[in-house]
Amino acid sequence: MALAINKRTGKSVNVPEHYLGHPVLGKDLEPAGSVVKAAPKKENSKKFAKHVPGAVDGDGDGIIQDGTIWQRLANTKTEEQPAPTNIEENEE
């Protein structure tokens, strides 16, 4: 990435080096001197919530596991559904 100054706005911007001197992409850009590297990509730190069958309502609002994909009403019971023994019975 190259450091450039936009001639119209006066702001400094990071652009790919091939923009400088290009008739369209670098029309309003003027080299500012140094070449800088792009910032490293962030690692995906997204964590997924686990289903907690025996979760309790900690704040008393009537909702268990607030803000997760497992959010549910406090009085809801979860039961594990058994797998069908004969799959052909379920087909129509």
Domain ranges across the chain: 2-35
* Reported confidence tier of residue 26, pLDDT bands at 50, 70, 90: confident
pLDDT: which is higher, 40 or 59: 59
* pLDDT per residue as tens digits for the range 44-81: 767 778 888 888 888 888 888 888 888 888 887 767 77
Q: What is the pLDDT of residue 36?
A: 56
pLDDT: which is higher, 32 or 34: 32
Highest mean pLDDT among 2-16, 22-36, 38-52, 68-82: 2-16
Sign of CA dihedral 14, 20, 24, 28: positive
Q: Is 6 exposed, middle or buried (0-12, 13-18, 19+ CB in 10 A)?
A: middle
